[in-house]
Every structure is written in C-alpha cells, then in structure tokens.
C-alpha cells in the first residue's frame, strides 16, 4: 500500500501531461462552435453590392450555397479570395455577405481580384452578421437548398479546409 501511494504523484503528472498534450493539439482555440448549425438561415432583406437590387431569404433557397462573410478591411479575406475564385470555377455556388464595409470599396475589390460570388449582400452595419453570430471575418456557412445552415467554418477557406467541408457540401446536393 505504501509503495503504491508513492506512485500517486507520477500518475497525476502523467494525467496532466495527457490533458496538456491534448490541449496543445487543438488546432484553433479561437474558433467557437456555432449554435446555428441545423437552424434556418436568418431572415434578411438586403441590397446587392453589384447592382443594388434587394434580395431576401427566399432568394437564398433553391440550391445549396457557400455563404462567405468578407470585407475589404479583412486581410485573411484577401488570402482566401483566389481559392474562392477556384471553387466558383468548379461550379460551386458562393453567396457573399459584404460585412461592415463600403459598397464602393467592395465593387473595386471585386473588379480587381475577380468575383467568385453569385451575388454579394451588402451588410454595412453588420446586422445580418450579428444574426449569424459573426465575430471574425472571414466566416463561411454551408447552407442547403432548404435554407438550413449545415456547417460553419471560421477563418480562411483553403484546400485543406475544403477537403473536409466538400463531403458535407456534396451530401447537400
């Protein structure tokens, strides 16, 4: 019994080691789980960046889409932009939300770097962003044809992230 008690510190050390090791391994501690998964996309009525017409939630439904929240003030959005162009080239429907941004700047950006979006909703005050629980652009939502949010990714889209998302996206088709 005495001998066994001597091993307690070692066992505690080992347990803490495992806990900290797992903690270190968690890739991105800043991305929080979204409570919106499985819920309908929030209602909106917003102008479109490209031509100013007004769209509503009904326009989003019908076919699955990647809904990408971006802004010209967001450096990571620039980093992921060429990958979005590539995805659009593969026929994936991407809807943009131009979050807390200026329409003119957004138009210039799309002209300069290409426009992978089916259309861009202009959300200058971040109202739709707040409904979506956006706290750090870029954020991307997978929305199915019924308008239900299926998944969310915080941070840039890149081939590695897309590898895990595309299965889910494929399942929505």
Partner 1 sequence: MKQVIMMVLFFSMPVWAVIDGHKYPFEDPQDAERFEQLAEDLRCPKCQNQNLADSNAPVAADLRDKVYELMQDGKSDDEVVTYLVDRYGDFVRYKPPFRLDTLLLWGGPVILLLLGILLLALLRRNQSQPVSALSAEERARLDALKSRLDEEENS
Binding site for partner 1 (CB under 8 A): 1-2, 5, 8, 30, 32-36, 100, 126, 129-136
As measured in angstroms, the least distance from the Cβ of 124 to partner 1 is: 12
CB neighbours of 129 closer than 8 A, spacing ≥ 6? 69, 97, 99, 100, 123
Nearer Cβ to partner 1 (1/167): 1
Question: Whose Cβ is closer to partner 1: residue 13's or residue 171's?
Answer: 13
Q: Which residues contact 61 (CB under 8 A, 6 or more apart)?
A: 145, 146, 147
Q: Under a CB-based contact definition with an 8 Å cutoff, are residues 47 and 122 in contact?
A: yes
Q: Which is nearer to partner 1, 134 or 165 (CB)?
A: 134
Minimum CB separation from partner 1 for residue 68, in Å? 18
Helix or strand or coil: residue 80? helix
> Please, which residues have CB within 8 angstroms of residue 82's CB and are 6 or more apart in sequence?
113
Give the H/E segment covering residue 49.
none
Nearer to partner 1, 6 or 24 (CB): 6
Shortest spacing between CB 16 and partner 1, in angstroms: 12
CB of 33 to partner 1, least distance (A): 6
Comparison of 12 and 104: residue with beta carbon closer to partner 1: 12
H helix runs in 26-158, sequence order: 57-60, 75-89, 103-113, 127-131
Least gap, CB of 84 to partner 1 (angstroms): 23
């Amino acid at each position: 019994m005495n001998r066994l008690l001597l091993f307690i510190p070692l066992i505690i050390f080992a347990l803490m080691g495992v806990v900290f090791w797992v903690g270190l391994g968690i890739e991105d501690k800043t991305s929080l789980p979204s409570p919106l998964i499985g819920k309908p996309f929030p209602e909106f009525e917003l102008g479109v960046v490209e031509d100013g017409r007004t769209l509503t939630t009904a326009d989003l439904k019908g076919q699955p889409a990647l809904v990408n929240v971006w802004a010209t003030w967001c450096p990571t959005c620039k980093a992921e932009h060429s990958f979005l162009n590539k995805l659009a080239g593969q026929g994936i429907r991407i809807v943009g939300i131009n979050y807390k941004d200026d329409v003119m700047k957004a138009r210039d950006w799309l002209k300069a770097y290409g426009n992978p979006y089916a259309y861009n909703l202009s959300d200058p005050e971040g109202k739709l962003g707040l409904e979506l629980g956006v706290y750090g652009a870029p954020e991307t939502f997978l929305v199915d044809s019924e308008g239900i949010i299926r998944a969310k990714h915080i941070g840039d889209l890149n081939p590695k992230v897309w590898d895990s998302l595309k299965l889910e996206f494929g399942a929505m088709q």
